[in-house]
């Protein structure tokens, strides 16, 4: 069993390009898994996993179960906001990615960790919840809704991190989008994650703390909690 996770930071990268690069790594992990099943234990290749950080230029992505009606901009409106719109293969509905938001893509062979997708999503959420706790904020979950929320049981409930994953052959891709210094105006042009409830809002760490926060600082905290939760060995 190998829990070595290679950490990569792609910086600001076009969504389509990142999706293509992510898919290459995803297929590499699956190919190693499939090949190893045909080999003796002594012949098997060591499995590797990846944890990718990046930011994207303004883009709206729609998951497999989402509705295009939740995008409130036409092509002219997208052009005016300098935003793209892309249909993708993760779960979930529509969400926004943009500068100042930390996007994380763990590409893990879950046969090396645990084969429980609900637990996997809880761990991704817990990684963010623990990070928020270091800033004095109490993150939580809302039953039936994905992601991490603040003031989850109140009329002021607001989402600070979206989670949407894709799984094939017990290998993960896509992941989470954590609003740090994000321009929240862009969420006004969608029904975020398909949730039309007026009591559910979107927020960022900058808005909650009243100051900008270092993305590098947040990434370090996320990795620390990821390592603890998944009992992983991180390689840089």
What CATH number is attached to the domain comprising 187?
Answer: 3.30.930.10
Give pLDDT, residue 94: 86
What is the average per-residue pLDDT within 139-161?
Answer: 93
Find out whether 202 and 192 touch, Cβ atoms under 8 Å. yes
Q: Does 187 score more than 60 pLDDT?
A: yes
Q: Is the pLDDT of residue 193 over 60?
A: no
Number of domains in the chain: 1
Q: How many residues does the chain have?
A: 236
Q: Tell me if residue 54 is catalytic.
A: no
Predicted local confidence at residue 69, as pLDDT: 87
Please name which of 162, 95, 161 lies closest in space to residue 85, comparing C-alpha atoms.
95
Domain span at residue 198? Answer: 4-235
pLDDT higher than 70, residue 194: no
Residue 66 clears pLDDT 90, i.e. is over it: no
Q: What's residue 89's pLDDT?
A: 83
Which has the closest alpha carbon to 184: 207, 164, 162?
207
**14-28, 54-68, 148-162, 184-198: least confident range:** 184-198
- Mean local confidence (pLDDT), 149-165: 93
Residue 75, C-beta contacts closer than 8 angstroms, at least 6 positions apart: none
Whether 177 shows a pLDDT value over 90: the answer reads yes
Asked whether residue 216 carries a pLDDT value surpassing 80, the answer given is yes
**pLDDT (0 to 100) of residue 192:** 61
pLDDT at 140 (0 to 100): 97
Which has more pLDDT, 41 or 7? 7
Catalytic entry in 110, 193, 205, 222: 193
With contact defined as beta carbons under 8 Å apart, do 158 and 203 qualify? Answer: yes
Confidence band, pLDDT 50/70/90 cuts, at residue 146: confident
């Amino acid at each position: 069993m190998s829990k070595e996770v290679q950490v990569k930071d792609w910086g600001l990268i076009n969504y389509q390009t990142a999706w293509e690069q992510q898919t290459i790594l995803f297929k590499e992990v699956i190919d190693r898994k499939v090949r190893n099943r045909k080999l003796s234990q002594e012949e098997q290749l060591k499995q590797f996993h990846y944890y990718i950080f990046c930011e994207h230029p303004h883009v709206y992505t729609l998951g497999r179960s989402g509705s295009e009606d939740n995008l409130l901009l036409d092509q002219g409106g997208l052009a005016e906001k300098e935003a793209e719109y892309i249909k993708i293969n993760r779960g979930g509905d529509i969400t926004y990615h943009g500068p100042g938001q930390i996007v994380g893509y763990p590409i893990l062979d879950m046969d090396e960790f645990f084969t429980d997708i609900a637990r996997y999503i809880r761990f991704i959420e817990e990684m963010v919840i623990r990070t928020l706790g270091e800033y004095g904020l109490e993150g939580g979950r809302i039953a039936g809704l994905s992601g991490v929320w603040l003031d989850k049981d109140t009329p002021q409930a607001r989402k600070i991190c979206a989670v949407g994953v894709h799984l094939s052959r017990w290998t993960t891709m896509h992941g989470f989008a954590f609003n740090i210094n994000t321009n929240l105006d862009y969420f006004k042009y969608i029904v975020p994650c398909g949730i039309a409830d007026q009591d559910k809002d979107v927020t960022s760490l900058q808005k909650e703390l009243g100051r900008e926060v270092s993305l590098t600082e947040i990434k370090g905290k996320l990795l620390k909690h990821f390592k603890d939760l998944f009992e992983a060995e991180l390689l840089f």
